[in-house]
Structure 1
Amino acid sequence: MGCMIMFKYNTKVSPANPNSKTLRSSIPKEIAKLLKVKAGDSIEWNVDVIDNNTFQITVTKKE
């Protein structure tokens, strides 16, 4: 049976650019290291909606 480890990080969200509604946030370096991602890599976001205020988000590196 595997061991589950929980990490908790806080980041700020900012506009991607002044003319867009897209938002941007940084990946904490510890998470980037776990995902083995570097600049230019793609990541995939999978979002499961649990209820109106709860989501489970899974982030994986796209190969």
Structure 2
Amino acid sequence: MNGRIVVPKDIRKAVGAKLGTKFIWEMMDDGSVRVTAKARRFKAPEEARSEVGDSENGVDDA
């Protein structure tokens, strides 16, 4: 076993989960378990721009 679980497709779609999305598991006082999809870290505009190309340097992938 490698500790992986399968999240049903309708739930993945509802929370916007993609491959690699992390989930936070919390045990509640009543014994239930709350699972939350961890928000992805958004890149600063400069980082995102360098990935899609930089028109000042003659590279434009957009």
Provide runs of 4+ in structure 1 moved above 4 Å. Answer: none
- Aligned-pair RMSD on alpha carbons? 1.5
Matched, 1:62 2:42: no
Give me the identity figure in percent.
28
**Counterpart code for 1:33:** K
Q: More helix by proportion, 1 or 2?
A: 2
Pairs aligned (count): 39
- Find the structure with the greater CA-based Rg: 2
Structure 2 gap segments, 5+ residues each: 40-62
Q: Which runs of 5+ in 1 are unaligned?
A: 1-14, 17-22
| C-alpha deviation, 1:24, in angstroms | 2.7
Q: For residues 24-45 of structure 1, give each alpha carbon's deviation from its aligned partner in whole angstroms, at most 9, with x where no partner exists.
A: 3211111111221111111111
Higher relative contact order (CA 8 A, sep 6+): 1
Task: Say whether residues 1:40 and 2:2 are aligned partners.
Answer: no
| Greater fraction of residues in strand | 1
